């Protein structure tokens, strides 16, 4: 994706996050409603829209940015497991854990579910911009 397209998707993801709140030491949770108007569904896939995996990775980064109140850039995807697609009209629950092992570098672990079904498990390394 191009940089301005990235910001469009990031904004679309940010606008779908509701109730972002602490859920323990370094943990945060929020809900994400993927209504049929979500821009990420364009071309993915006609007649059977599912949230692209790259959007779920971006959702974890955007949630961490919101919590940390600073811009982040993903430098590495250390783990990425997609277990179940998220379809148009579904509401997902995002749980992230954020740690700063060294100044200016964050490890973000994310678990994304629809009801009790695990949709994605992610581990990212991000740096401050």
Q: Is the dihedral of CA 18, 81, 61, 110 positive or negative?
A: positive
pLDDT at residue number 68: 96
119's CB contacts (< 8 A; 6+ apart) are 56, 82, 83, 84, 85, 86, 92, 112, 113
pLDDT in tens, the chain (129 residues): 334 446 888 999 999 999 999 999 999 999 999 999 998 898 888 889 999 999 999 999 999 999 999 999 999 999 999 999 999 999 999 999 999 999 999 999 999 999 999 999 999 999 999
CATH number of the domain residue 67 falls in: 3.10.129.10
Task: Provide the domain count of the chain.
Answer: 1
Strand arrangement of the beta sheet that strand 17-24 belongs to: 17-24, 27-34, 90-102, 105-114, 117-128, 72-82
pTM: 0.92
pLDDT at residue number 6: 60
Which domain range does residue 10 map to?
Answer: 3-128
């Amino acid at each position: 994706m191009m940089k301005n397209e990235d910001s469009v998707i990031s904004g679309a993801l940010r606008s779908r996050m509701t109730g972002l709140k602490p859920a323990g030491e370094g943990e945060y949770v929020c809900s994400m409603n993927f209504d049929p108007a979500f821009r990420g569904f364009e071309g993915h896939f006609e007649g059977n829209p599912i949230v692209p995996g790259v959007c779920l990775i971006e959702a974890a980064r955007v949630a961490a940015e919101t919590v940390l109140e600073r811009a982040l850039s993903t430098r590495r995807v250390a783990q990425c497991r997609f277990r179940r697609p998220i379809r148009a009209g579904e509401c997902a629950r995002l749980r992230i854990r954020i740690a700063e092992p060294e100044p200016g570098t964050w490890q973000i672990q994310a678990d994304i579910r629809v009801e009790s079904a695990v949709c994605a498990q992610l581990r990212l390394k991000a740096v401050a911009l």
